[in-house]
């Protein structure tokens, strides 16, 4: 079985789900983190024989970690609305435990996972904008000069991005499995985007750039939950082929 794991309202994930259907991935399910966390019945084990889980979905379907050949993981956060009536101290503790359990679930999947859970985030290693900018600079991308303090407002839209210079234009690309999809980039900028994804430890990364009036390319932000539609059909096919590879491949 393959699943697209995403929150309600994730149109990009639904688009990918449709592309997977056209590619012939069956059985295929669209599953939300809420369906997993709020499941009436689940079982999780950790032992000398390995790690695994079985979660029963609302329609009675059982998700078994050993039967999942591929997962497109679009988890932005671990749902915790069911804990809101608990007292503050208990709620914080329970949220941490739920997050640990959810990460353990994703780690137990035997098939390929894009992007794999990380201690810094259920959908991959989440970083602050300035951390992404530091990585981007080390990868060889031009980054904006910006001084920040604890009194400054959050960086603006797109979320967590550096302000766009006057006359600049946005360019969005996807870095996946050693390739760049979306806007055409000069070879040096493309290679730097590939290095950034490698340094970030993910195989699927959205990179938002700007192109100035003089043609210069500047890093603006990185996104672990990018709009997959930017990559078009070529990206969808590459993603489906990755998902359809032999189970047991390294999670990305």
Same-domain check for residues 49 and 111: yes
Number of domains in the chain: 2
Q: Are residues 156 and 112 in the same domain?
A: no
Query: Which of 19-23, 106-110, 142-146, 226-230 shows the lowest mean pLDDT across its residues?
Result: 142-146
Residue 249 inside a domain? The answer is no
- 82 lies in the same domain as 188: no
Tell me the average pLDDT across 225-243. 96
> What pLDDT score was predicted for residue 89?
82
Residue 233 lies in a domain: no
Q: In angstroms, what CA-CA distances link 158 with 72, 204, 214, 219, 229? A: 23, 18, 23, 13, 16
8, 97: one domain? yes
- Whether residue 84 is found in the same domain as residue 190: no
Asked whether residue 103 falls in the same domain as residue 65, the answer is yes
Q: What HEC string does 90-153 produce?
A: HHHHHHHHHHHHHHHHHHCCCCEEECCCECCEECECCCCHHHHHHHHHHHCCCCCCCCCCCCCC
Residue 181 has pLDDT above 80, yes or no: yes
Whether 156 shows a pLDDT value over 70: the answer reads no
Res. 170 pLDDT band, cuts 50 70 90: confident
Any domain includes 185: yes
Over residues 196-211, the mean pLDDT reads: 94
248 occurs within a structural domain: no
Mean per-residue pLDDT, 202-231: 93
Residue 155 has pLDDT above 70, yes or no: no
Average pLDDT, integer, range 54-67: 91
pLDDT at 249: 42
Calpha distance 78→117 (Å, rounded): 11
Judgement on whether residues 25 and 43 belong to the same structural domain of the protein: yes
Name, in order, each residue with C-beta under 8 angstroms of 252's C-beta and a sequence gap of 6 or more.
112, 113, 114, 115, 116, 177, 202, 203, 204, 242
Q: In terms of residue numbers, what domain contains 136? A: 129-223
Residue 149 lies in a domain: yes
pLDDT at 142 over 90: yes
117 in a structural domain: yes
Does 73 lie in the same domain as 177?
no
* 28 found inside a domain: yes
Q: Give the model's confidence band at 250: pLDDT under 50 very low, under 70 low, under 90 confident, else very high.
A: very low
Same domain, 186 and 117: no
Same domain, 118 and 204: no
Please give the pLDDT value at position 114: 95
- 87 to each of 81, 91, 102, 212, how far by Cα in Å? 13, 6, 22, 51
Q: Does 133 reside within a domain?
A: yes
């Amino acid at each position: 079985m393959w699943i697209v794991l995403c929150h309600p309202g994730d149109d990009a994930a639904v688009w990918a789900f449709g592309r997977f259907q056209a590619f012939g991935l069956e059985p295929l399910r669209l599953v939300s983190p809420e369906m997993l966390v709020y499941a009436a019945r689940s079982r999780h084990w950790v032992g000398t024989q390995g790690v695994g889980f079985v979660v029963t979905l609302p329609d009675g379907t059982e998700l078994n970690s050993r039967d999942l050949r591929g997962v497109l993981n679009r988890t932005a956060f671990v749902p915790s609305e069911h804990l809101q009536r608990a007292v503050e101290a208990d709620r914080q503790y329970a949220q941490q435990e739920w997050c640990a359990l959810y990460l353990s679930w994703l780690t137990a999947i035997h098939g390929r996972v894009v992007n794999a859970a990380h201690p810094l985030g259920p959908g991959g290693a989440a970083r602050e904008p300035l951390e992404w900018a530091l990585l981007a600079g080390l990868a060889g991308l031009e980054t904006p000069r910006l001084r920040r303090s604890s009194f400054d407002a959050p960086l603006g839209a797109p979320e967590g991005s550096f302000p766009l210079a006057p006359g600049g234009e946005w360019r969005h690309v996807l870095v996946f499995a050693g390739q760049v999809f979306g806007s055409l980039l000069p070879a040096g900028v493309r290679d730097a985007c590939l290095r950034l994804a490698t340094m970030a430890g993910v195989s699927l990364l959205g990179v938002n750039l700007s192109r100035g009036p003089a043609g210069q390319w500047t890093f603006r932000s990185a996104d672990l939950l990018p709009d997959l539609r930017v990559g078009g059909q070529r990206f969808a096919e590459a993603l489906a082929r990755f998902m359809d590879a032999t189970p047991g491949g390294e999670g990305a």
